Amino acid sequence: MSGVSFAEVPANIRVPGVYIEIDNSLANKAEDLQKILIIGTKSGGDTAANTVVSVATDTAAADRFGQGSQIHKMVQMAYKQSIALPIYAVAVDATNSVDLALAATGDDQFHYIISAFNDETNVRALADFLQARYHALQQIPGIGFIAKQATHTGLTTYGEGFNSPFVCVMGVNSLGDAAGVDYSEPELAAAYAGQIAPQLANDPARPLQTLVLNGVYSKASSEWILQERNLLLYSGISTYRVNDAKQVMVERPITTYKINGGGVADDSYLDVTTPATAMFFRQKQRARILSKFPRHKLAKDGTRFAPGQAVVTPAIIKAELLSLYTELEYRAIVQDFEGYAKTMFVELDATNPSRINVQDSPQFVNGLIIYAGKIQFRK
Protein backbone atom coordinates (compact mmCIF):
# COMPACT_ATOMS: atom_id res chain seq x y z
CA MET A 1 0.00 0.00 0.00
CA SER A 2 1.32 3.44 -0.94
CA GLY A 3 2.24 6.10 1.57
CA VAL A 4 0.32 8.56 -0.67
CA SER A 5 -3.49 8.69 -0.72
CA PHE A 6 -4.27 8.59 -4.44
CA ALA A 7 -7.76 9.47 -5.65
CA GLU A 8 -7.38 8.46 -9.30
CA VAL A 9 -4.31 6.24 -9.75
CA PRO A 10 -5.30 2.70 -8.65
CA ALA A 11 -2.95 0.60 -6.54
CA ASN A 12 -3.43 -2.46 -8.74
CA ILE A 13 -2.49 -1.00 -12.14
CA ARG A 14 0.14 -3.02 -14.09
CA VAL A 15 0.02 -1.29 -17.50
CA PRO A 16 3.25 0.68 -18.02
CA GLY A 17 2.91 4.45 -18.03
CA VAL A 18 3.27 7.70 -16.12
CA TYR A 19 0.06 8.43 -14.27
CA ILE A 20 -0.14 11.77 -12.45
CA GLU A 21 -3.30 13.09 -10.88
CA ILE A 22 -3.83 16.78 -10.15
CA ASP A 23 -5.22 17.86 -6.78
CA ASN A 24 -6.49 21.41 -6.24
CA SER A 25 -7.29 21.02 -2.53
CA LEU A 26 -4.44 23.34 -1.49
CA ALA A 27 -5.15 26.04 -4.06
CA ASN A 28 -8.61 27.39 -3.17
CA LYS A 29 -8.50 31.14 -2.45
CA ALA A 30 -11.94 32.01 -3.82
CA GLU A 31 -14.34 34.47 -2.23
CA ASP A 32 -18.07 33.75 -2.32
CA LEU A 33 -20.05 35.85 -4.79
CA GLN A 34 -22.58 37.53 -2.55
CA LYS A 35 -26.10 38.14 -3.87
CA ILE A 36 -28.99 40.49 -3.20
CA LEU A 37 -32.66 39.55 -3.22
CA ILE A 38 -35.40 42.18 -3.59
CA ILE A 39 -38.94 41.33 -2.49
CA GLY A 40 -41.84 43.49 -3.61
CA THR A 41 -44.95 43.65 -5.76
CA LYS A 42 -45.37 43.42 -9.52
CA SER A 43 -47.69 45.25 -11.89
CA GLY A 44 -47.15 43.11 -14.97
CA GLY A 45 -44.16 41.51 -16.64
CA ASP A 46 -43.46 37.92 -17.60
CA THR A 47 -42.59 36.49 -14.18
CA ALA A 48 -45.11 34.75 -11.94
CA ALA A 49 -45.36 35.53 -8.26
CA ASN A 50 -43.08 33.61 -5.90
CA THR A 51 -40.54 32.99 -8.67
CA VAL A 52 -36.96 34.17 -8.10
CA VAL A 53 -35.25 35.60 -11.19
CA SER A 54 -32.12 37.57 -11.98
CA VAL A 55 -32.52 41.28 -12.73
CA ALA A 56 -29.16 42.32 -14.11
CA THR A 57 -30.49 45.75 -15.18
CA ASP A 58 -33.45 47.97 -14.32
CA THR A 59 -34.76 47.22 -17.83
CA ALA A 60 -34.78 43.54 -16.97
CA ALA A 61 -36.72 44.37 -13.80
CA ALA A 62 -39.31 46.23 -15.85
CA ASP A 63 -39.64 43.29 -18.25
CA ARG A 64 -39.95 40.77 -15.46
CA PHE A 65 -42.24 42.66 -13.07
CA GLY A 66 -43.73 45.59 -14.96
CA GLN A 67 -42.61 49.10 -15.85
CA GLY A 68 -42.86 51.33 -12.78
CA SER A 69 -43.71 48.44 -10.48
CA GLN A 70 -42.56 48.43 -6.90
CA ILE A 71 -39.81 45.92 -7.69
CA HIS A 72 -38.73 47.90 -10.76
CA LYS A 73 -38.33 51.07 -8.67
CA MET A 74 -36.42 49.21 -5.95
CA VAL A 75 -34.04 47.71 -8.49
CA GLN A 76 -33.52 51.14 -10.07
CA MET A 77 -32.64 52.58 -6.68
CA ALA A 78 -30.27 49.75 -5.84
CA TYR A 79 -28.38 50.15 -9.11
CA LYS A 80 -28.27 53.92 -8.56
CA GLN A 81 -25.93 53.16 -5.66
CA SER A 82 -23.30 51.91 -8.15
CA ILE A 83 -23.77 48.38 -6.91
CA ALA A 84 -21.82 45.56 -8.52
CA LEU A 85 -23.35 42.61 -6.69
CA PRO A 86 -25.81 40.41 -8.60
CA ILE A 87 -29.43 41.30 -7.88
CA TYR A 88 -32.37 38.90 -7.93
CA ALA A 89 -36.02 39.66 -7.31
CA VAL A 90 -39.22 37.86 -6.39
CA ALA A 91 -42.77 39.18 -6.35
CA VAL A 92 -45.21 38.27 -3.61
CA ASP A 93 -48.64 36.97 -4.43
CA ALA A 94 -51.89 38.87 -3.99
CA THR A 95 -51.84 38.31 -0.23
CA ASN A 96 -48.73 40.49 0.12
CA SER A 97 -47.20 37.86 2.40
CA VAL A 98 -43.46 37.24 2.12
CA ASP A 99 -43.62 33.62 3.30
CA LEU A 100 -44.03 31.98 -0.10
CA ALA A 101 -41.62 34.43 -1.73
CA LEU A 102 -38.94 33.54 0.82
CA ALA A 103 -39.67 29.83 0.43
CA ALA A 104 -39.10 30.20 -3.31
CA THR A 105 -35.40 30.80 -2.65
CA GLY A 106 -34.98 27.11 -1.82
CA ASP A 107 -31.43 26.40 -0.69
CA ASP A 108 -29.94 29.32 -2.62
CA GLN A 109 -28.15 31.79 -0.39
CA PHE A 110 -28.96 35.48 -0.60
CA HIS A 111 -26.64 37.47 1.61
CA TYR A 112 -28.81 40.61 1.59
CA ILE A 113 -32.61 40.62 1.37
CA ILE A 114 -34.38 43.92 0.77
CA SER A 115 -38.07 43.73 1.59
CA ALA A 116 -40.76 46.21 0.66
CA PHE A 117 -42.96 44.97 3.49
CA ASN A 118 -42.45 46.56 6.90
CA ASP A 119 -45.63 45.48 8.67
CA GLU A 120 -45.21 43.46 11.85
CA THR A 121 -46.24 40.11 10.36
CA ASN A 122 -43.90 40.27 7.37
CA VAL A 123 -40.93 41.62 9.33
CA ARG A 124 -41.25 38.78 11.81
CA ALA A 125 -41.56 36.29 8.96
CA LEU A 126 -38.35 37.66 7.46
CA ALA A 127 -36.59 37.57 10.84
CA ASP A 128 -37.66 33.96 11.46
CA PHE A 129 -36.52 32.96 7.97
CA LEU A 130 -33.08 34.51 8.48
CA GLN A 131 -32.75 33.04 11.96
CA ALA A 132 -33.34 29.55 10.57
CA ARG A 133 -30.80 30.06 7.81
CA TYR A 134 -28.17 31.17 10.32
CA HIS A 135 -28.49 27.83 12.11
CA ALA A 136 -25.54 25.43 11.99
CA LEU A 137 -27.55 22.86 10.01
CA GLN A 138 -28.38 25.35 7.23
CA GLN A 139 -25.50 27.85 7.10
CA ILE A 140 -26.96 29.93 4.27
CA PRO A 141 -27.44 33.16 6.23
CA GLY A 142 -28.28 36.68 5.22
CA ILE A 143 -29.22 40.13 6.53
CA GLY A 144 -32.58 41.73 5.84
CA PHE A 145 -33.20 45.43 5.17
CA ILE A 146 -36.43 47.41 5.42
CA ALA A 147 -37.30 51.08 5.80
CA LYS A 148 -39.91 52.70 8.00
CA GLN A 149 -41.09 56.31 7.82
CA ALA A 150 -42.71 57.69 10.95
CA THR A 151 -42.40 60.31 13.63
CA HIS A 152 -39.52 59.93 16.04
CA THR A 153 -41.87 58.54 18.67
CA GLY A 154 -43.44 56.22 16.15
CA LEU A 155 -40.06 54.86 15.13
CA THR A 156 -38.89 54.17 18.67
CA THR A 157 -42.12 52.27 19.31
CA TYR A 158 -41.78 50.41 16.03
CA GLY A 159 -38.18 49.38 16.69
CA GLU A 160 -39.00 48.03 20.13
CA GLY A 161 -41.38 45.56 18.49
CA PHE A 162 -38.56 43.50 16.93
CA ASN A 163 -35.51 41.70 18.27
CA SER A 164 -33.64 40.09 15.39
CA PRO A 165 -29.85 40.01 14.85
CA PHE A 166 -30.48 39.76 11.11
CA VAL A 167 -32.91 42.61 10.34
CA CYS A 168 -31.83 46.22 9.80
CA VAL A 169 -34.50 48.95 9.85
CA MET A 170 -33.72 52.32 8.28
CA GLY A 171 -35.64 54.98 10.17
CA VAL A 172 -36.94 57.68 7.82
CA ASN A 173 -37.91 61.27 8.57
CA SER A 174 -38.68 62.81 5.17
CA LEU A 175 -36.63 61.94 2.08
CA GLY A 176 -37.02 62.45 -1.64
CA ASP A 177 -35.21 62.96 -4.90
CA ALA A 178 -33.41 66.08 -6.13
CA ALA A 179 -36.71 67.60 -7.25
CA GLY A 180 -38.33 67.01 -3.87
CA VAL A 181 -40.50 64.08 -4.96
CA ASP A 182 -41.04 61.65 -2.10
CA TYR A 183 -39.39 58.26 -2.20
CA SER A 184 -41.36 55.28 -1.00
CA GLU A 185 -40.16 53.19 1.93
CA PRO A 186 -39.24 50.26 -0.36
CA GLU A 187 -37.11 52.56 -2.54
CA LEU A 188 -35.30 53.91 0.52
CA ALA A 189 -34.65 50.40 1.83
CA ALA A 190 -33.08 49.63 -1.57
CA ALA A 191 -30.93 52.76 -1.40
CA TYR A 192 -29.73 52.06 2.16
CA ALA A 193 -28.98 48.41 1.47
CA GLY A 194 -27.58 49.27 -1.94
CA GLN A 195 -24.82 51.28 -0.29
CA ILE A 196 -24.24 48.92 2.62
CA ALA A 197 -24.27 45.50 0.93
CA PRO A 198 -21.26 45.93 -1.39
CA GLN A 199 -19.23 47.42 1.47
CA LEU A 200 -19.97 44.43 3.69
CA ALA A 201 -19.12 42.12 0.80
CA ASN A 202 -15.74 43.84 0.42
CA ASP A 203 -14.95 43.94 4.14
CA PRO A 204 -17.60 42.86 6.68
CA ALA A 205 -15.71 44.38 9.63
CA ARG A 206 -15.27 47.90 8.23
CA PRO A 207 -17.68 50.54 9.60
CA LEU A 208 -20.26 52.06 7.28
CA GLN A 209 -20.72 55.65 8.40
CA THR A 210 -20.45 58.48 5.82
CA LEU A 211 -21.61 56.42 2.82
CA VAL A 212 -23.75 58.73 0.66
CA LEU A 213 -27.08 57.49 -0.67
CA ASN A 214 -26.93 58.49 -4.31
CA GLY A 215 -29.93 60.52 -5.45
CA VAL A 216 -31.50 60.75 -1.99
CA TYR A 217 -32.06 64.12 -0.30
CA SER A 218 -33.67 65.29 2.91
CA LYS A 219 -37.00 67.12 2.74
CA ALA A 220 -37.38 67.50 6.50
CA SER A 221 -37.92 70.96 7.95
CA SER A 222 -35.74 69.87 10.86
CA GLU A 223 -33.44 66.88 11.23
CA TRP A 224 -33.33 64.61 14.23
CA ILE A 225 -30.73 65.86 16.67
CA LEU A 226 -28.03 63.75 18.32
CA GLN A 227 -30.14 62.84 21.37
CA GLU A 228 -33.02 61.74 19.16
CA ARG A 229 -30.80 59.60 16.93
CA ASN A 230 -29.14 58.09 20.00
CA LEU A 231 -32.56 57.02 21.27
CA LEU A 232 -33.34 55.47 17.89
CA LEU A 233 -30.13 53.47 18.12
CA TYR A 234 -31.25 52.12 21.49
CA SER A 235 -34.59 51.16 19.94
CA GLY A 236 -33.21 49.05 17.09
CA ILE A 237 -33.55 51.74 14.42
CA SER A 238 -30.67 52.53 12.07
CA THR A 239 -29.80 56.17 11.47
CA TYR A 240 -28.56 58.53 8.80
CA ARG A 241 -27.17 62.05 8.76
CA VAL A 242 -27.76 64.95 6.38
CA ASN A 243 -25.07 67.36 5.18
CA ASP A 244 -25.44 71.00 4.20
CA ALA A 245 -26.29 69.99 0.63
CA LYS A 246 -29.20 67.91 1.98
CA GLN A 247 -27.47 64.70 0.89
CA VAL A 248 -28.22 61.67 3.03
CA MET A 249 -25.35 59.66 4.53
CA VAL A 250 -25.37 56.39 6.39
CA GLU A 251 -24.66 56.99 10.07
CA ARG A 252 -24.96 53.72 11.99
CA PRO A 253 -26.72 50.66 10.54
CA ILE A 254 -27.73 48.36 13.38
CA THR A 255 -29.88 45.28 13.87
CA THR A 256 -33.06 45.18 15.91
CA TYR A 257 -31.48 42.77 18.41
CA LYS A 258 -31.54 44.24 21.90
CA ILE A 259 -32.44 41.55 24.45
CA ASN A 260 -31.09 38.01 24.87
CA GLY A 261 -32.97 34.87 25.89
CA GLY A 262 -32.57 35.72 29.55
CA GLY A 263 -34.40 39.01 29.09
CA VAL A 264 -31.19 40.99 29.62
CA ALA A 265 -30.01 43.89 27.46
CA ASP A 266 -27.56 42.51 24.89
CA ASP A 267 -25.43 44.49 22.41
CA SER A 268 -23.52 41.51 20.98
CA TYR A 269 -25.25 41.89 17.60
CA LEU A 270 -25.67 45.67 17.69
CA ASP A 271 -23.97 46.69 14.43
CA VAL A 272 -24.78 44.91 11.16
CA THR A 273 -21.05 44.43 10.70
CA THR A 274 -21.08 41.87 13.53
CA PRO A 275 -23.41 39.24 11.99
CA ALA A 276 -21.79 39.98 8.62
CA THR A 277 -18.34 39.27 10.07
CA ALA A 278 -19.55 36.15 11.89
CA MET A 279 -21.06 34.83 8.66
CA PHE A 280 -17.86 35.58 6.77
CA PHE A 281 -15.67 33.93 9.41
CA ARG A 282 -17.75 30.76 9.52
CA GLN A 283 -17.80 30.48 5.75
CA LYS A 284 -14.01 30.83 5.64
CA GLN A 285 -13.68 27.99 8.14
CA ARG A 286 -16.09 25.78 6.21
CA ALA A 287 -14.36 26.48 2.91
CA ARG A 288 -10.93 25.70 4.38
CA ILE A 289 -11.95 22.37 5.91
CA LEU A 290 -14.06 21.26 2.93
CA SER A 291 -11.34 22.21 0.44
CA LYS A 292 -8.29 20.80 2.22
CA PHE A 293 -9.78 17.70 3.83
CA PRO A 294 -12.60 16.55 1.54
CA ARG A 295 -11.98 12.76 1.84
CA HIS A 296 -9.59 12.39 4.72
CA LYS A 297 -9.39 9.76 7.40
CA LEU A 298 -9.49 10.83 11.03
CA ALA A 299 -6.90 9.58 13.50
CA LYS A 300 -5.74 10.28 17.02
CA ASP A 301 -2.87 12.66 17.67
CA GLY A 302 0.41 10.72 17.69
CA THR A 303 -0.62 8.22 15.02
CA ARG A 304 2.42 7.41 12.82
CA PHE A 305 1.23 7.59 9.19
CA ALA A 306 3.03 8.37 5.96
CA PRO A 307 3.18 12.09 5.12
CA GLY A 308 1.28 11.53 1.87
CA GLN A 309 -1.68 9.81 3.49
CA ALA A 310 -5.04 11.59 3.50
CA VAL A 311 -5.31 11.66 7.28
CA VAL A 312 -6.11 14.42 9.73
CA THR A 313 -5.75 14.55 13.49
CA PRO A 314 -6.98 17.09 16.02
CA ALA A 315 -3.54 18.71 15.95
CA ILE A 316 -3.64 19.06 12.16
CA ILE A 317 -7.11 20.59 12.26
CA LYS A 318 -6.03 23.03 14.98
CA ALA A 319 -2.94 24.05 13.03
CA GLU A 320 -5.05 24.66 9.92
CA LEU A 321 -7.54 26.82 11.79
CA LEU A 322 -4.72 28.81 13.38
CA SER A 323 -3.20 29.34 9.95
CA LEU A 324 -6.54 30.60 8.66
CA TYR A 325 -6.84 32.93 11.65
CA THR A 326 -3.44 34.39 10.85
CA GLU A 327 -4.59 35.09 7.28
CA LEU A 328 -7.76 36.79 8.48
CA GLU A 329 -5.81 38.76 11.08
CA TYR A 330 -3.62 40.11 8.27
CA ARG A 331 -6.83 41.26 6.55
CA ALA A 332 -7.95 42.97 9.81
CA ILE A 333 -11.02 40.77 10.15
CA VAL A 334 -9.92 39.27 13.48
CA GLN A 335 -7.42 40.10 16.23
CA ASP A 336 -5.68 38.67 19.33
CA PHE A 337 -4.12 35.55 17.80
CA GLU A 338 -2.54 34.56 21.11
CA GLY A 339 -5.87 34.58 22.91
CA TYR A 340 -7.50 32.68 20.07
CA ALA A 341 -4.81 30.00 20.03
CA LYS A 342 -4.88 29.65 23.81
CA THR A 343 -8.63 29.11 24.04
CA MET A 344 -9.10 26.85 21.00
CA PHE A 345 -10.18 23.30 21.86
CA VAL A 346 -10.10 20.44 19.33
CA GLU A 347 -11.01 16.86 20.22
CA LEU A 348 -12.09 13.55 18.78
CA ASP A 349 -15.69 12.89 19.72
CA ALA A 350 -15.94 10.42 22.61
CA THR A 351 -18.76 8.38 21.06
CA ASN A 352 -18.42 8.96 17.30
CA PRO A 353 -14.94 8.08 15.98
CA SER A 354 -15.69 9.81 12.66
CA ARG A 355 -16.44 13.17 14.25
CA ILE A 356 -14.13 15.94 15.41
CA ASN A 357 -15.34 18.71 17.73
CA VAL A 358 -13.93 22.23 17.71
CA GLN A 359 -14.56 25.19 19.97
CA ASP A 360 -12.88 28.48 19.19
CA SER A 361 -13.33 32.08 20.27
CA PRO A 362 -12.45 34.59 17.54
CA GLN A 363 -12.24 38.26 18.41
CA PHE A 364 -13.54 40.33 15.53
CA VAL A 365 -11.98 43.66 14.64
CA ASN A 366 -14.41 46.49 15.40
CA GLY A 367 -15.05 49.70 13.54
CA LEU A 368 -13.88 53.10 14.72
CA ILE A 369 -17.28 54.63 15.37
CA ILE A 370 -16.76 56.85 18.41
CA TYR A 371 -13.73 58.97 19.31
CA ALA A 372 -13.75 60.32 22.84
CA GLY A 373 -11.13 62.85 23.82
CA LYS A 374 -10.40 65.36 26.54
CA ILE A 375 -8.19 68.35 25.93
CA GLN A 376 -6.73 69.97 29.01
CA PHE A 377 -5.12 73.13 27.73
CA ARG A 378 -2.41 75.03 29.60
CA LYS A 379 -1.50 78.70 29.68
Give the residue extent of every domain in the chain.
1-19+293-379, 36-277
Which segment of 23-27, 66-70, 288-292 scores lowest on mean pLDDT? 23-27
Query: 10 Å Cβ neighbour count for 154?
Result: 12
Report pLDDT for 2.
Answer: 66
In this prediction, residue 248 carries a pLDDT of 98
Spatial CA neighbour of 219 closest among 178, 175, 171: 175
> Which of 135, 114, 127 is closest to 37 using CA atoms?
114
Q: How far is CA 115 from CA 122, 144, 273, 349, 363, in A?
A: 9, 7, 19, 42, 31
The alpha carbon of residue 345 and the mean position of all alpha carbons in its chain are separated, in whole angstroms, by 27
Which residues are CB-neighbours of 278 under 8 A, at least 6 positions away?
Answer: 364
pLDDT at 8: 87
| CATH code for the structural domain at 36-277 | 3.40.50
pLDDT at 155: 98
What is the rounded distance in angstroms from the CA atom of residue 379 to the CA atom of residue 373? 19
DSSP label at residue 311: E
Q: How far apart are CA 177 and CA 196, in angstroms?
A: 19
Q: pLDDT of 172-221, one tens digit each? A: 999 999 999 999 999 999 999 999 999 999 999 999 999 999 999 999 99
CB 78 within 8 A of CB 196: no
**With left for phi above 0 and alpha for psi between -120 and 50, is residue 180 left, alpha or beta?**
left
pLDDT digits (tens, 9 = 90+) for 126-157: 999 999 999 999 999 999 999 999 999 999 99
Confidence of residue 5 (pLDDT cuts 50, 70, 90): confident
Torsion of CA 297, 302, 308, 309, to 10 degrees: -20
